[in-house]
Amino acid sequence: MIIERNMEHTDLPLVVIPACFPSMAPYLERGLDVIATKARVRMHTDMTLDLDEIMARLENANVAMTTGIHFNNAMLDALAPTLRCLTFGGTGVANFVDVNHAHDLDIMVCNAVHYGDNAVAEHTIALLFEITHKAGRLDVRTRAQGWPGSDITEIGGMTMGIVGFGGIGHRVAELAHGLGMKLIVWARHPDTETLDRLGVERADSIDDVFAKADVVSPHLALNDATRGIITARHLDMLHPGAIFLNTARAELVEQGALERRLNNGDIFAGLDVFDPEPLPDDAPLRDCPNTVLTPHVAWRSDKALAGIVDQNIRSVVAFLDGESYNIV
């Protein structure tokens, strides 16, 4: 379905939403009237990742509001004659757009920040619970088999190691602390007040985290400095029975290193992010032992979706007013 506003006013800029997640559509639709005071608006309510279709829908767009769409440089080049602003429904825009190339084409890129700190943190802990308490898997087995026996593992008393201490890492630490876990954190710019309040051990290096923690969870933005920052050597430091969680970005881990470590069969992993996405049917991770996999949904809570849309609409309105908001 296509929803339009103000299309008869051809003198106004054109804002296009070429695709959206169904759960995001109601929030976007409610915001269209705000944009329509300054521009024409066309919203496609389905979610397609077909790039030819995306390009057709963005023809003559001055502003593109996007989520989950990977723009290669050829696409940006083709859109550049009219496109002046691209908003991305998330924080990791560098995974989806070559920001420097967009800037070279005079395309403003805006993202959303801190909208999903709590949602992603909760999902991180949910993966931990599924690994240790197996509630989802035991539900399936109980329905199919009647009364399967299984031991579980308590989280209280474990050491949670966190790599990176921004909004999400901060919230994970609070939740883990509330569960009775000990904490060790490595961060370039630590929030000392929070670290002191939670009784966190401050790691001198990432090595310390992997060597000491029972559970390791990275919470870093993906950029040139963090890509591959977690290496095979780090993963080899995990003791048997340790748990690796990743709800941040798969590319933080050296390519292939996690699969190799998991194939030893002596650690566990809870993963919500992959490279590439969607996860291919023949991806080695699908066959790795001791894993819980979810399809990059940690950010998709009702509150987070509303926050994304609100920030993206603010970015569009600011751009149309000759100002800026959440520029990358």
**Residue 249 catalytic?**
yes
Its sign, for the CA torsion 260, 264, 266, 269, is positive
C-alpha 286, offset from chain centre: 20
Strands 40-44, 85-88: pairing is unpaired
Scanning 13-116, the segments in alpha helix (DSSP H) are 25-36, 51-57, 73-79, 99-104
CB 248 within 8 A of CB 274: no
How far are the Cα atoms of 56, 58, 84, 95, 263 from residue 52, in angstroms, in the given order?
Answer: 6, 10, 20, 20, 38
Residues 168-189 as b/e (b if ≥16 CB within 10 A, e otherwise) read bbbbbbbbbbebebbbbbbbee
- Which among 148, 131, 83, 98 has a CA at the least distance from the CA of 316? 83
CB 224 within 8 A of CB 251: no
Question: Rounded distance, CA 294 to CA 273, Å?
Answer: 8
Which member of 141, 177, 227, 296 is catalytic?
A: 296
**Strand order from edge to edge, sheet including 268-271:** 201-202, 182-186, 159-163, 215-218, 243-246, 268-271, 291-293
Which member of 249, 260, 286, 314 is catalytic?
A: 249
CB 27 within 8 A of CB 306: yes
**Residue 197 catalytic?**
no
Phi and psi angles of residue 21, each rounded to the nearest 5 degrees, phi first: -65, 140
- Please report how the helices 117-133 and 135-145 are oriented relative to each other, as an axis angle in degrees rounded to 10: 50
State the catalytic residues.
249, 296
